[in-house]
DNA sequence: CTCCTGTCCTGCCGGC
DNA sequence: TGCCGGCAGGACAGGA
């Protein structure tokens, strides 16, 4: 579930509860998610201070200060499909429920709870200096909201690519953070058919696509992300960008672009590409 | 190399 | 009502 806007929203929401605070107690309620929790995670975190929270692709990075014995580290958290990180403010009652797998108790009272029914999430720990070469990070493409993501960069990545453009957008070496929802939405906004071979999308269209990706991600962040089933913000409330979807999960509904002034437009279609649902308007997307 | 499929896991929804 | 198949926001391995 969580794509870039959702992870970004969670990072921002957690920051006031974590930044500048120290891990007082770390509780693991099982030994693994998709991968085992880092060895001796609690002992390695307790007593150390969080200096910053950032995001790379769909990963949340909790920066942890070093001390005289150990260098700075980064706690890497990925929410998978169904993960949540929520903050329980100081003084609010909290009793763990099913699928609460990790609890970070911070000094001054707040608790951060990692909850993940499907357990596709991941928690890893790495020295700060090794993040760029970390197995999960070394091959990541550009951040879509930064200047490094441009028409020319995308053109270079997609040139000669035969896979369809929708599947290519999910490839984290092409661009990071775009998942199944925002891929469909960005292709709709740029008027490009999801079935087009990626290498055949022309320069002018790529320019539109880059703009559409940046736009939809920014608007989704402003809305606090999209809540379909599991996703909630760090304060436990819902995002609302799902109400702003134009095509995603709108199969059989009239296209919002070619339906106007009582004129019957085309119907949003759902197809399956590389095993994942894609939604599009067959008239507006060529 | 690239691509496609299957897999991890639980919960929920629709159909029979 | 109950059971079963299919599907869900992601990422990765393995095989063709």
Is any atom of strand C within 7 angstroms of residue A1's beta carbon? yes
Q: What is the C-alpha separation between A11 and A18, in angstroms, rounded?
A: 10
Mean pLDDT on A96-104: 97
Is any atom of strand C within 7 angstroms of residue A116's beta carbon? no
CB neighbour list of residue A57: distance below 8 Å, 6 or more residues apart: A4, A137, A140, A143, A172, A176, A177
**What pLDDT is recorded for position A104?**
98
pLDDT surpassing 70 at residue A92: yes
Task: Sort A128 into a burial class: Cβ within 10 Å, 0-12 / 13-18 / 19+.
Answer: middle
Task: Sort A177 into a burial class: Cβ within 10 Å, 0-12 / 13-18 / 19+.
Answer: buried
Whether the CB-CB separation of A9 and A234 falls below 8 Å is answered with yes
Calculate the alpha carbon distances from A182 to A227, A245, A252 in Å. 13, 9, 19
Is any atom of strand C within 7 angstroms of residue A58's beta carbon? yes
Please report which confidence band the pLDDT of residue A1 belongs to, taking 50, 70 and 90 as the band edges. low
Catalytic pick among A2, A5, A110, A144? A2
Which residues 196-255 in chain A have a CB closer than 7 A to strand C? Answer: 226-231
Q: Which nucleotide is nearest to A136 (CA to C1')?
A: C11
Q: Give Cα A21 distance to the centre of its chain.
A: 25
Tell me which protein residue sits closest to nucleotide B9, measuring alpha carbon to C1'.
Answer: A118
Q: Which nucleotide is nearest to A184 (CA to C1')?
A: C9
Which residues 9-48 in chain A have a CB closer than 7 A to strand C? Answer: 34
Clarify whether A92 is annotated catalytic. no
Q: What is the C-alpha separation between A206 and A227, in angstroms, rounded?
A: 29
Q: And the tokens for A135?
A: 């197995």
pTM of structure? 0.96
Clarify whether A36 is annotated catalytic. no
Clarify whether A3 is annotated catalytic. yes
Q: What is the C-alpha separation between A112 and A191, in angstroms, rounded?
A: 41
Catalytic pick among A48, A151, A211, A276? A276
Residues facing residue A77 across a β-bridge? A60, A123
Is any atom of strand C within 7 angstroms of residue A136's beta carbon? yes
Q: What is the C-alpha separation between A242 and A239, in angstroms, rounded?
A: 8
- Tell me A229's DSSP state: S
Q: And the tokens for A116?
A: 């993940």
Catalytic pick among A21, A55, A56, A58? A58
* Whole-number average pLDDT of chain A: 95
CB neighbour list of residue A130: distance below 8 Å, 6 or more residues apart: none
Clarify whether A276 is annotated catalytic. yes
Mean pLDDT on A180-206: 96
pLDDT surpassing 80 at residue A31: yes
Q: And the tokens for A222?
A: 């402003």
Alpha helices in chain A (DSSP H): 4-18, 41-45, 151-158, 165-170, 180-190, 203-222
Please report which confidence band the pLDDT of residue A228 belongs to, taking 50, 70 and 90 as the band edges. confident
């Amino acid at each position: 579930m969580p794509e870039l806007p959702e992870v970004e929203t969670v990072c921002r929401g957690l920051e006031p509860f974590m930044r500048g605070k120290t891990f007082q107690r770390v509780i693991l309620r099982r030994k693994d998610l998709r991968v085992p929790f880092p060895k001796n995670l609690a002992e390695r975190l307790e007593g150390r201070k969080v200096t910053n929270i950032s995001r790379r692709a769909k990963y949340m990075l909790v920066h942890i200060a070093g001390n005289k014995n150990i260098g700075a580290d980064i706690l890497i958290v990925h929410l998978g499909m169904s993960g949540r990180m929520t903050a329980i403010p100081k003084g609010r009652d909290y009793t763990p429920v099913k699928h609460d797998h990790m609890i970070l108790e911070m000094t001054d009272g707040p608790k951060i709870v990692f909850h993940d029914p499907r357990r596709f999430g991941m928690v890893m720990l790495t020295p700060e200096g090794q993040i760029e070469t970390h197995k999960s990070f070394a091959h990541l493409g550009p951040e879509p909201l930064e200047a490094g993501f441009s028409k020319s960069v995308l053109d270079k990545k997609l040139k000669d690519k035969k896979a369809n453009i929708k599947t290519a957008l999910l490839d984290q070496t092409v661009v990071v953070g775009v998942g199944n929802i925002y891929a469909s939405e960005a292709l709709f906004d740029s008027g490009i058919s999801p079935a087009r071979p990626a290498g055949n999308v022309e320069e002018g269209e790529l320019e539109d696509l880059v703009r559409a990706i940046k736009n939809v991600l920014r608007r989704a962040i402003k809305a606090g992300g999209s809540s379909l089933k599991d996703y909630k913000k760090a304060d436990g409330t819902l995002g609302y960008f799902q109400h702003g979807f134009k095509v995603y999960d709108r199969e059989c509904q009239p296209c919002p672009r070619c339906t106007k002034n009582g004129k019957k437009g085309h119907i949003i279609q759902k197809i399956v590409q590389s095993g994942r649902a894609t939604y599009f308007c067959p008239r507006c997307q060529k």
